[in-house]
Amino acid sequence: MADVDAPWVERFLQQLWLQEGLANATQQAYRRDLAFLSQWLQQQHGQQAIQQTEASLLSCDRASLHAMLEARVQQGYHHRSNARLLSSLRRFFRQARELGWRAEDPTALLESPRAARPLPNSLSESDVEQLLAAATGDEALSLRDRAMLELMYASGLRVSELVGLPLGQLSLRQGVLRVIGKGNKERLVPMGEEAVAWLTRYLDQARPELLEGQPAEAVFVSRRGAALTRQAFWYRIKHYAKLAGLRSSLSPHSLRHAFATHLLNHGADLRSLQLLLGHSDLGTTQIYTFVARERLKALHERHHPRG
């Protein structure tokens, strides 16, 4: 910690101890956080990145704090660590203003930069075609798997909604299915001609063979006549991804992401996509706009003469 800051930090900690009787561990945490900022300010001042006559806690401004937090994000600090640090700084600067050590609180209205939200891993349209084509053959299991893959890509179902889909919620004639999603909310989802065709073939040929006369409510069943589990479908996805030469990290949710991304790429609006996916909050759906945007940027860079 810079010599100019050490006395003020100690006065701050004494005030807190008198007011609240802070535990030693808590005092040490405050001291570490304030020392971090003090040292960062000194380093930046030495590099003349911060234009001020003195680099100290009592002369630190909001721009400097924001730059420090942004630097921590770039360095990979977890957003919780940054939030905890900012909490300590808020406490110090609030106290400094109240005691007249400085005129204003630079942490007022300052938000901790959030970690970038990870973009969902999606498949290109050609990737999906390769995956679907890998599930070939007239065997009952192959027909079932192809129908499941086609339906998931055509409807954007969650894997739990797919494996738990009952026959009574499927209307091949109308080309729609009724889904009971999260929060027991119901939505109608179109399936598309290709998915309907594969479902019809599966229901007519493969499902009776798998059931061997046993009754079952689920659309997609195993050889034992029970509803297929999420784990089993995950295993089948991995199997076909390997056959298609796709990445090993592929999961059932990858098809849901592909459904959403490809619809946006072809002009679907966000509100319609929210209804199809069954998201209660439009903010959850908005992540796909970033996926589509990143793909368009990559496309531009790859093919535009001045990209």
pLDDT attached to residue 52 = 47
Instruction: State the catalytic residue, choosing from 288, 300, 302, 303.
Output: 288
Euclidean distance between CA atoms 251 and 247, whole angstroms: 10
Q: How big is the CA angle at 162 (ends 157 and 163), to the nearest 5 degrees?
A: 155
Q: Compute the average pLDDT of residues 31-39.
A: 92
288 is catalytic: yes
66 is catalytic: no
Instruction: State the catalytic residue, choosing from 144, 158, 236, 262.
Output: 158
Residues of the chain with CATH 1.10.443.10: 125-303
Calculate the CA dihedral of residues 37, 40, 46, 47 and round it to 10 degrees. Answer: -130
| 64 vs 284, more confident | 64
Q: Does domain 6-98 have CATH number 1.10.150.130?
A: yes
Q: What tokens were used for 216?
A: 């079952």
| 140 vs 84, more confident | 140
Q: What tokens were used for 19?
A: 């007011």
Q: Which fold has domain 125-303?
A: hpI Integrase; Chain A (1.10.443)
240 is catalytic: no
Reported as a pLDDT band with limits 50, 70 and 90, residue 295 is low
Euclidean distance between CA atoms 237 and 256, whole angstroms: 13
| Digit-coded pLDDT (tens) for 125-136 | 999 999 999 998
238 is catalytic: no
Side-chain-facing half-sphere of 241: CA atoms under 13 Å:
16
In this predicted structure, the answer to whether residue 250 has a pLDDT above a threshold of 60 is yes
Q: What tokens were used for 72?
A: 């921590």
Instruction: State the catalytic residue, choosing from 144, 256, 257, 262.
Output: 256
pLDDT attached to residue 280 = 75
279 is catalytic: yes
> Burial code of 287-298, b = ≥16 C-beta within 10 A, e = fewer?
ebeebbeebeee
Instruction: State the catalytic residue, choosing from 91, 102, 253, 295.
Output: 253
In this prediction the pTM is 0.59
Q: Which of 27, 33, 29 is nearest to 10 (CA)?
A: 27
Longest dimension (CA), the chain: 86
Residues of the chain with CATH 1.10.150.130: 6-98
Instruction: State the catalytic residue, choosing from 182, 185, 239, 247.
Output: 182
Reported as a pLDDT band with limits 50, 70 and 90, residue 291 is low
Identify each DSSP E strand in 119-272 by its residue range. 170-171, 176-180, 186-190
In this predicted structure, the answer to whether residue 50 has a pLDDT above a threshold of 50 is no
